[in-house]
Chains A and B, each alone.
Chain A
């Protein structure tokens, strides 16, 4: 039976809500207000309505950044899910030295993002990087991400997947461990092959965990910044710029806070839009589950 929260419950919850209001809601609304004004260092603010949105929507660099963000986010999130799912299934079936293997898989997540990107940058340096030289020696040609936008985006995606895979893996692995063995026993007794057990048992039961991982990663990946900034700074010729880099340049290099704020709100709406399908699916399942 559902009970209406009483005054004590509300009072106990109040500090959390006040905190959320102070650190999330009010700053977000301030940024929204800023996006409707022209503002820079020491110039005060001047209300311009939707002019900042018109400016960014009329800027081809914004659309390029949006497209790059869309490509990288999708490449990263779906690659992570596939790999994370594969790892979760393999680990659940048993691997030699499980603790050591788990430590190795989780290790990238423990490394600082800046250190990780710089490490990859050195290894993949087109002139002297150990990895790029090895690829060249293997006859795969020069992987010159610094002048090829496509290769730049590929390397950014690889680094992002490498660094964030442990997060997705942990969520999916926990989800897989929560599936009772009795379900697999029943499947075996019904004559299911391992593939059928995966398709008919593991995958459907993992969907809540997959949705959760997907929502988190879509939102996080949409803010992608360090990988691009530290690796290519959006170059060559701004061809690998993503939305967060576009925002940073506008706000913190050129001091155009109105345009930066408008970009920030477009990013919020974009990530909500991307995640909304999965949020809806999750909500539907929760409603169904709760009867």
Chain B
């Protein structure tokens, strides 16, 4: 009888020990895409479940909370203000990591010293700087969305063009030539970009001429001659019908539909959109929409230009599992895992990942994107009102393009309104 009691007690102890080990849970807050790529959830991808393997190895319960971009950031920011947060690791976009938010995040310099990320220098400095303000490391880049020029080979051929433009002038000339009506009656716009609710694509176009909104030293450059030149050209293109008539309300969904249906011949959009544009189930031109770097004007001294938006991983200051959180970040940042996650569809933040043979076969644009991320610019978010500055840019640039203001007046107004926001910090 005694043996049964001892055996029973041992069994109970073993079960409760097992349960205790499983009790440690890490909660990740992100957009669904981050879970998909980290865990290889999309059918057909080959990178595997990187996060899941880590959880198994550490005997940790991995809880993943996902939401769309705005509600996800809103939830995170509310949680950051609490004494204790259920979120251990969160994914944030660089434009949101302003100083007042960064102050609520765990400083990662000490963690990096204590237990460094493998080949940390392999992540480009412009990516690290783009997500960290005031010299304190609080965010580790995970994914980038860098703009490129998508072009439809079939529409190009219809208009007698055999390849993408090689400089800014050519891009504008091609856009004009590619604004036509197809034999089936489809009206084609030479160029399209998300100009309704985002800034990235429009700034990419303007940067072809060297225009930047705010440079990395926080100088506002909104009324530069380059900005006025770029806005003037966009306004001319709009007037001529090269840009779509609904320029001021174009969303990313509109851009995708227009390219897939052949209603736009060229689009300025992140490289990663390549798979969507060539998806045989949705596109009328599978395999015919290619992507290259956006050609720059000769005056800039560069061949190509690009803007980038970076998602990074952060730990809330009041996270309850900082050690495990940092370990997960380290794991997801390893060079080999960067490649595996890229094979699951992520935009890798390590240029070395683009050398992977499997990735090269899977994504034919890797060489072009690797070049683009070397020159890609971010809009600095190291001042608290950076979102307001971007909203002002959208508003004033729209006004200039659709003719509500002259490009000169819009540029001056941008400068006058954004400068105090940056100075306020």
Contacts and interface: CB of A to CB of B under 8 A. Distances in A.
Interface of A: 40-43, 125-128, 142, 144, 146-147, 231-233, 235-239, 249, 252-255
A254 B100 CA distance: 12
B104 A42 contact: yes
A254 B384 CA distance: 9
Contacts of A146: 196, 245-249
A42 B80 contact: yes
A176 to B, nearest CB: 40
Contacts of B394: 235
A126 B399 contact: no
B404 interface: yes
Contacts of B197: 233
A285 B375 CA distance: 73
Contacts of B284: none
Contacts of A249: 391
Contact of A235 (B80, B187, B248): B248
A143 to B, nearest CB: 10
Nearest to B261: A128
Interface in B384-401: 385, 387-388, 391, 394-396, 398-399
Contacts of B74: 252
A42 B399 contact: no
A42 B81 CA distance: 4
A41 B77 contact: yes
B319 to A, nearest CB: 14
A235 B196 contact: yes
B105 to A, nearest CB: 10
Interface string B62-98: 0000000010001001101100000000000000000
Q: Is the interface of B mostly helix, strand, loop or mixed?
A: helix
B143 to A, nearest CB: 22
Contact of B249 (A40, A128, A142, A235): A235
Contact of A41 (B78, B189, B249, B385): B78
B80 A237 contact: no
Interface of B: 70, 74, 77-78, 80-81, 100-101, 103-104, 187, 189, 196-197, 244-249, 263, 385, 387-388, 391, 394-396, 398-399, 402, 404
A97 to B, nearest CB: 38
A255 B402 CA distance: 30
A144 B246 contact: yes
A39 B78 CA distance: 12
Contacts of B81: 41-42
A254 B387 contact: yes
18 contacts: A42-B80, A42-B81, A125-B246, A126-B246, A127-B189, A127-B244, A127-B246, A146-B245, A146-B249, A147-B246, A147-B402, A232-B249, A235-B394, A237-B398, A238-B395, A252-B74, A254-B387, A255-B100
Given A127-B263, A144-B246, A252-B70, 19 more contacts: A40-B100, A41-B104, A42-B80, A42-B100, A42-B103, A125-B246, A126-B245, A128-B187, A146-B196, A146-B249, A147-B245, A147-B247, A147-B402, A232-B249, A235-B248, A235-B395, A235-B398, A236-B249, A237-B395
A42 B101 contact: yes
Contacts of B187: 127-128
B388 A254 contact: yes
B2 to A, nearest CB: 59
Contacts of A42: 77, 80-81, 100-101, 103-104
B353 to A, nearest CB: 33
A231 B249 CA distance: 8
A142 B249 CA distance: 16
B70 A236 contact: no
Given A249-B391, A254-B388, A127 B100 contact: no
Contact of A237 (B246, B387, B388, B404): B404
B248 A128 contact: no
B77 A233 contact: no
Contact of B245 (A40, A144, A253, A254): A144
Given A127-B187, A253-B387, A236 B80 contact: no
B396 to A, nearest CB: 7
The 10 closest A-B pairs by CB, nearest first: A236-B248, A146-B249, A146-B246, A42-B81, A41-B77, A237-B399, A147-B402, A126-B245, A42-B104, A126-B246
A147 B248 contact: yes
A146 B395 CA distance: 13
Contact of B196 (A127, A233, A255): A233
A252 B189 CA distance: 35
B263 A128 contact: yes
A66 B407 CA distance: 28
A225 to B, nearest CB: 14
Nearest to A124: B246
Nearest to B399: A237
B246 to A, nearest CB: 4
Contacts of B244: 126-127
Contacts of A127: 187, 189, 244-246, 263
Contacts of B402: 147, 236-237
A184 to B, nearest CB: 50
Name the residue in A40, A41, A126, A142 with the highest tally of chain B Cβ atoms < 10 Å from its Cβ: A41
Contacts of A126: 244-246
Nearest to A233: B197
A144 B248 CA distance: 10
A147 to B, nearest CB: 4
A41 B248 contact: no
Name the residue in A142, A147, A253 with the highest tally of chain B Cβ atoms < 10 Å from its Cβ: A147
Contacts of B248: 146-147, 232, 235-237
